[in-house]
Amino acid sequence: MASKEHEFSKNYLILKPQNANIVDLFLFLLPFGFRKRTKFIDCPEGKEDSYTSSFTNRWLIFISIVLQIILLAIATPLAKLDAFLLNVFNFISFNGGILGLLSRILKGESLVKPDENSAEYTSVVGFADWRRDLDKSIKAEEIFRYYGGLTVMAAQLSYESKPFVLSVVNDRWKMKLLGHFNFWNDFQGKATTQAFMFQNTAADPNVTVVAFRGTSPLDAYDWQVDADFSWYDIEGVGRIHSGFMKALGLQKATGWPEELVKSKHHFAYYTLRQKLRDIAKSNDNAKFIITGHSLGGALAALFVTVLSLHRDSAVLEKLQAVYTYSQPRVGDRRFAEFMVNTVKKYGFKYHRYVYSSDLVPRVPFDGVIFKYKHFGRCIYFNSLYKGRIVKEEPNKNYFSLIWVMPKYLNAWWELIRSFIVPLVKGFDYHESLLMKGARVVGLFIPGLAAHIPTDYVNSIRLGKFNPPPQEFEDSIEAD
């Protein structure tokens, strides 16, 4: 049944896990049971059969909806676990670590209560990787590595609060924070998209970096966005993941109007675009870099997509590069072609980093009705931090049976490696207990620990890799 809130798109497929139950889902898989079991699918009138007639299509829809149901079911327990871990880790940190806490207790000293508004209050991602400073061995003259090192740290920093980000950017990096934002999602009815922007006053004041926050490790709703394979067909662009568009600022019924009329909310795309327009207008030498990890990488890519859709040359002509880390697939082949043409037209660089068996770059699936494709060259690092340029990452389907054993063996190696690398490369590569715990979990769910920014930071710092200038820049993932 078509919905009015999707009127901006003539073709779409929206999955609604909240309308599904187990019986309906299993009947949906049957050859003759599916035709009356589409209450959890929203698409234009008359399109139901074309999207559900084949078993492959129904199976992919089934997987997506089941994953979303599971994530929604565990959302509250995960949120409580997240709050518990944040309280415990920050309580220990605010009291000087485990030894400091024990010392305070033994001496009878008062214990410090964590302050959520403090620059010291840290996220789970921040506790997984304790590094805050940039790698001083990478010089600004090494443009590719320097901005790789800067953007991967910015992408990791995006998970933190405004006081924390302000402290790191201004005090540690000696740069200037220009804004930290919580943006509205029109479809969720709340602010769920975070980003920050800063000026590189340390090396080149003309450079402004925008970093989108990615998928929070224990936020089931963030993971649901990744698991939801729904899409909208945007005229002139292609099919694009609906959840990513909603997070960036998609408007109900109107989609992507070029300008908003008196909105009471702040949306990521429109707010950041205006700020970049203002900078471009005031500085002829302005240069922009967009980055993000995980969901943040998808938003970085999509931000450029909508700029190109609106032909916003004032911003695009100042765009120097896009750096994404663990970026999921965003759209179909037509979308990929649109983005390749955009990169060529405006002459910026698009660097998509993938580390080893990280699961997120392998989703959403490249299925018959979804047809999600990566575009541009992939900068791939294996678990030895050896980098190379490839058209697409190995094992592009995370659930491929051929790669099951290599993924598990790799997870064991990554756990062992976490004890070896600090001995060889120094204390900067010492991993926290939380990160080691994630690697243990990764023994059961390979690719999960590989998704955490730590290995992306290590890849850039230890990889020392400079790609050929033009190789695979116009590639699109194969069918």
Active-site option among 326, 451, 455, 459: 451
What is residue 28's predicted lDDT score, i.e. its pLDDT?
A: 85
Active site annotation includes 129: no
> Do the domain assignments include residue 142?
yes
Percent of the chain residues topping a pLDDT of 90: 72
The reply to whether 42 and 163 lie within a common domain is no
The reply to whether 56 and 85 lie within a common domain is no
> Do the domain assignments include residue 478?
no
Confidence of residue 57 (pLDDT cuts 50, 70, 90): confident
Q: pLDDT higher for 468 or 153?
A: 153
Active-site option among 219, 222, 358, 366: 358
d(CA 285, CA 80): 47
Average pLDDT over residues 143-159: 97
What is residue 251's predicted lDDT score, i.e. its pLDDT?
A: 94
As a three-state string, the secondary structure of 332-348 is: CHHHHHHHHHHHHHHCC
- Cβ neighbors of 426 (< 8 A, separation 6 or more) are none
What is residue 228's predicted lDDT score, i.e. its pLDDT?
A: 86
Average pLDDT over residues 401-410: 92
Active-site option among 64, 242, 294, 459: 294
pLDDT at 31 over 90: no
d(CA 21, CA 269): 35
What is residue 465's predicted lDDT score, i.e. its pLDDT?
A: 75
pLDDT at 49 over 90: no
User: What are the C-alpha distances in Å from 134 to residues 23, 115, 116, 122, 201?
Assistant: 53, 26, 25, 18, 14
> Do the domain assignments include residue 429?
yes
The reply to whether 149 and 296 lie within a common domain is yes
What backbone torsions phi and psi does residue 369 show, to the nearest 5 degrees? -95, -10
Active site annotation includes 294: yes
Asked whether 373 and 334 are in contact (CB, 8 A), the reply is no
What's the domain count of the chain? 3
Cβ atoms within 10 A of the Cβ of 247, count?
28
Confidence of residue 37 (pLDDT cuts 50, 70, 90): low
Confidence of residue 227 (pLDDT cuts 50, 70, 90): confident
The reply to whether 52 and 80 lie within a common domain is no
Q: Which one of 13, 41, 71 terminates a domain?
A: 71
> Do the domain assignments include residue 224?
yes
The reply to whether 369 and 429 lie within a common domain is yes
Q: pLDDT higher for 195 or 393?
A: 195
Q: Provide the CA 44 distance to its chain's centre, in angstroms.
A: 29
What is residue 35's predicted lDDT score, i.e. its pLDDT?
A: 56
3-state secondary structure of 263: coil
Q: Which domain CATH number covers 297?
A: 3.40.50.1820
What is residue 454's predicted lDDT score, i.e. its pLDDT?
A: 98
**Model's pTM, two decimal places?**
0.93
Residues present in the chain in total = 479
For the chain, the average pLDDT equals 91
pLDDT at 1 over 60: no
What is residue 407's predicted lDDT score, i.e. its pLDDT?
A: 94
What is residue 7's predicted lDDT score, i.e. its pLDDT?
A: 75
User: What are the C-alpha distances in Å from 409 to residues 192, 324, 454?
Assistant: 36, 27, 19
d(CA 197, CA 195): 7
Residues spanned by the domain of 33: 4-71
What backbone torsions phi and psi does residue 182 show, to the nearest 5 degrees? -120, 110
> Do the domain assignments include residue 471?
no
Q: pLDDT higher for 302 or 19?
A: 302
pLDDT at 197 over 80: yes
Dihedral angle, C-alpha 223, 225, 228, 229, nearest 10 °: -120
Active site annotation includes 356: no
Least-confidence region, from 27-31, 130-134, 275-279, 282-286: 27-31
pLDDT at 367 over 70: no
The reply to whether 88 and 14 lie within a common domain is no
What is residue 153's predicted lDDT score, i.e. its pLDDT?
A: 99
d(CA 61, CA 42): 12
The reply to whether 158 and 290 lie within a common domain is yes
Percent of the chain residues topping a pLDDT of 70: 95
d(CA 154, CA 453): 11
Instruction: Give tens-digit pLDDT for 429-472.
Output: 999 999 999 999 999 999 999 999 999 999 999 987 766 656 66
Q: pLDDT higher for 193 or 25?
A: 193
3-state secondary structure of 111: coil
The reply to whether 417 and 336 lie within a common domain is yes
d(CA 46, CA 15): 16
Q: Which one of 56, 91, 114 terminates a domain?
A: 114
Q: What is the H or E stretch that residue 249 is in?
A: none
What is residue 437's predicted lDDT score, i.e. its pLDDT?
A: 95
> Do the domain assignments include residue 472?
no
The reply to whether 37 and 97 lie within a common domain is no
Identify the sign of the CA torsion 91, 97, 99, 100.
Answer: negative
What is residue 470's predicted lDDT score, i.e. its pLDDT?
A: 66
What is residue 468's predicted lDDT score, i.e. its pLDDT?
A: 65
Asked whether 377 and 471 are in contact (CB, 8 A), the reply is yes
The reply to whether 324 and 175 lie within a common domain is yes
What is residue 253's predicted lDDT score, i.e. its pLDDT?
A: 80
The reply to whether 91 and 174 lie within a common domain is no
